[in-house]
């Protein structure tokens, strides 16, 4: 069953999401409709997660190198600068490139819930694909978020604003949670976590 806003708010109070925004924020100054942002916070059946400003890494081409998920080479990644102007704080993801960021909110997934992460339509319309694997039962930490810029233009990726939506699905209690099996991506900090074996 897909969980609703009432359930999300109750679980957030118990520590499922921190920091937590109880309503969907579209303007930093809502009364005057000033300072629009890419929406974040609780919606009817989900939560719009924010991108942390702490780190954003971009894959760069290193001639003669082949990426190997079994022997991940961090030298293929380079940090990118956090820019700031009247529109907000942002990273630039170059055309036809791939980047890694991290969620601002820390998650503590209940033992009977699996969380699916989907990209926001505002970014999808620009050719930005957000890819994140499910957060399984009892997973905890800051999600590492993957971004692909499929367009022919560089794109701003805004920090401290909505980047993707979480959907919470309840299932029958499982025999072994992610925490029980000591999953390799458990307790991720607010820092990009690289591929592990």
How is residue 1 written in tokens?
């069953």
User: What are the strands, taking DSSP E only, across 6-76?
Assistant: 17-18, 25-29, 34-43, 46-50, 57-59
Residue among 78, 146, 161, 175 flagged as catalytic: 146
- Whether domain 5-63+74-170 has CATH 2.70.40.10: the reply is yes
What is the structure's pLDDT at 72?
84
Question: Which tops the pLDDT comparison, 184 or 95?
Answer: 95
Spatial separation of the C-alpha atoms in residues 128 and 118, rounded to whole Å: 12
Q: Is 105 a catalytic residue?
A: no
Binning the chain into helix, strand and coil, the percentages to the nearest 5 are 10, 40, 50
Domain boundaries, the chain: 5-63+74-170
- pLDDT tens digits, 41-65: 999 999 999 999 999 999 987 777 7
Q: Has residue 30 got a pLDDT over 80? A: no
């Amino acid at each position: 069953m897909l969980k609703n806003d009432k359930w999300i708010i109750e679980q957030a109070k118990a520590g499922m999401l921190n920091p937590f925004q109880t309503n969907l924020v579209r303007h930093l100054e809502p009364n005057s409709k000033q300072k629009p942002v890419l929406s974040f916070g609780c919606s009817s059946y989900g939560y719009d997660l924010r991108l942390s400003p702490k780190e954003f890494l971009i894959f760069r081409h290193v001639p003669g190198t082949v990426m190997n998920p079994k022997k991940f080479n961090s030298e293929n990644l380079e940090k990118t600068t956090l820019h700031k102007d009247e529109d907000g704080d942002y990273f630039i993801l170059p055309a036809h490139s791939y980047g890694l960021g991290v969620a601002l909110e820390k998650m503590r997934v209940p033992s009977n819930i699996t969380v699916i992460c989907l990209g926001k339509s505002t970014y999808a319309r620009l050719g930005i694909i957000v890819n994140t694997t499910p957060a399984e039962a009892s997973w905890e930490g800051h999600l590492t978020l993957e971004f692909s810029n499929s367009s022919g233009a560089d794109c701003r990726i805004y920090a401290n604003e909505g980047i993707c939506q979480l959907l919470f699905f309840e299932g029958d209690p499982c025999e072994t949670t992610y925490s029980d099996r000591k999953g390799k991506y458990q307790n991720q900090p607010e820092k990009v976590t690289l591929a592990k074996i």
